[in-house]
């Protein structure tokens, strides 16, 4: 198999990392590869914060040996504009989306680069689902025009996983045009999610029965979906307001119907 394809196929999420240190040299190799990621207009409207503080790693990054926090970030680009005498704004909602895409694509490149040199990872969005105010303070993130999107926990596994988690293909890949699944096809997808051989969950059939659910999907919607704390949602929204990314309609004097 092609070496690059093999690296992609071997990606796995690690939640228990060993104490083995990742060298500065390897972090720089990962970051150098990350910077080669395609981006919108060549602007690289994202920033990467390398996290090595043990307390922060414990609280936000699953005790990874190191972590990379990927943020939508227009500050560097806007500083260039102001230096040249311009008064920049994000523009419209597409600007926020483009920043999120740039940051997300760069984070995936980082996971691939890490895996290519034998370092495992875990992708987490807990960075904006937990106490956002703390993240901004701990990592000195600018309040305006910056928002943490994805965290990549890096490290060596404490023990080797016995298997790779499965992936769903039906309903994900569409040839020619988008096609909604028929009811019987949806049943097949649910069956795939629930199949213990696909390892979407560590729970057994007996575990789900004790929870009063039929399997992974049923349990997700019954016990997980909507189980978030409303305070965390408000925190996220208020933080977005401070960034200025939600001022777009006001800046352009637009009204939604």
pLDDT tens figures, 152-170: 999 999 988 777 788 999 9
Q: What is the rounded CA–CA span in Å between residue 128 and residue 149?
A: 7
Residue 247: Cβ-neighbour burial (10 angstroms; 0-12, 13-18, 19+): middle
Q: What is the rounded CA–CA span in Å between residue 158 and residue 252?
A: 52
Same domain, 68 and 156: yes
Same domain, 178 and 145: no
Q: What is the pLDDT of residue 11?
A: 87
User: Has residue 60 been placed in a domain?
Assistant: yes
Q: How do residues 28-85 score in pLDDT, each as one tens digit?
A: 999 999 999 999 999 999 999 999 999 999 999 999 999 999 999 999 999 999 999 9
Same domain, 52 and 118: yes
User: Has residue 124 been placed in a domain?
Assistant: yes
Same domain, 143 and 182: no
Same domain, 149 and 171: no
Q: Out of 37-51, 96-110, 240-254, which region has the weakest mean confidence (pLDDT)? A: 240-254
Same domain, 25 and 136: yes
Same domain, 71 and 14: yes
Where helices occur in the chain by DSSP H, the ranges are 3-9, 24-34, 54-60, 75-83, 93-116, 126-129, 132-138, 183-194, 205-210, 216-219, 230-243, 248-252
Query: Which CATH number covers residue 15?
Result: 3.40.109.10
Strand bridging mode 120-124 / 66-73: unpaired
- Of the candidates 53, 51, 42, the one whose C-alpha atom is nearest the C-alpha of residue 148 is 51
User: Has residue 104 been placed in a domain?
Assistant: yes
Domain that holds residue 12: 3-161
Same domain, 67 and 30: yes
Same domain, 129 and 170: no
Residue 255 has pLDDT above 70, yes or no: no
Same domain, 150 and 200: no
Contact 122, 62 (CB under 8 A): yes
Q: Look up the pTM and report it.
A: 0.90
Mean pLDDT value of segment 201-218: 89
Final residue before a domain boundary, out of 99, 132, 161: 161
Contact 34, 110 (CB under 8 A): yes
Final residue before a domain boundary, out of 161, 177, 210: 161
User: Has residue 257 been placed in a domain?
Assistant: no
Mean pLDDT value of segment 212-227: 87
| C-alpha R_g of the chain | 21
Q: What is the DSSP letter of 51?
A: E
Average pLDDT, the chain: 91
- Of the candidates 152, 107, 140, 147, the one whose C-alpha atom is nearest the C-alpha of residue 235 is 147
Q: Which residue has the higher pLDDT, 204 or 72?
A: 72
Domain count of the fold of the chain: 2
Question: Cα angle at 121 between 197 and 203, to 5 degrees?
Answer: 30
User: Has residue 69 been placed in a domain?
Assistant: yes
Final residue before a domain boundary, out of 161, 184, 204: 161
């Amino acid at each position: 198999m092609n070496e690059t394809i093999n690296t992609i196929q071997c990606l796995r999420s690690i939640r228990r990392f060993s104490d083995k240190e990742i060298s500065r040299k390897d972090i720089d190799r990962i970051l150098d590869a990350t910077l080669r990621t395609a981006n919108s207009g060549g602007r690289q409207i994202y920033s990467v914060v390398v996290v090595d503080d043990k307390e922060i790693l414990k609280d936000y990054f699953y005790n990874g040996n190191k972590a990379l926090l990927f943020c939508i970030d227009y500050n560097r680009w806007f500083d260039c504009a102001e230096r040249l005498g311009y008064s920049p704004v994000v523009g419209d909602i597409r600007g926020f989306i483009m920043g999120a895409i740039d940051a997300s694509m760069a984070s995936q490149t980082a996971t691939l680069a890490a895996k290519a040199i034998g370092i495992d990872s875990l992708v987490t969005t807990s960075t904006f689902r937990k106490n956002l105010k703390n993240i901004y303070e701990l990592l000195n993130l600018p309040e305006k025009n910056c928002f943490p999107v994805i965290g990549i926990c890096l490290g060596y596994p404490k023990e080797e996983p016995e298997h790779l988690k499965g992936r769903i293909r039906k309903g994900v890949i569409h040839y020619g045009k988008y096609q909604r699944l028929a009811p019987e096809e949806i049943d097949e997808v649910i069956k795939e999610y629930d199949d213990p051989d696909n390892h979407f969950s560590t729970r057994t059939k007996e575990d789900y029965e004790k929870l009063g659910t039929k399997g992974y999907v049923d349990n997700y919607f019954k016990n997980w979906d909507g189980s978030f704390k409303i305070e965390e949602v408000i925190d996220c929204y208020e933080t977005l307001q401070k960034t200025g990314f939600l001022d777009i309609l006001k800046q352009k004097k637009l009204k939604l119907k």
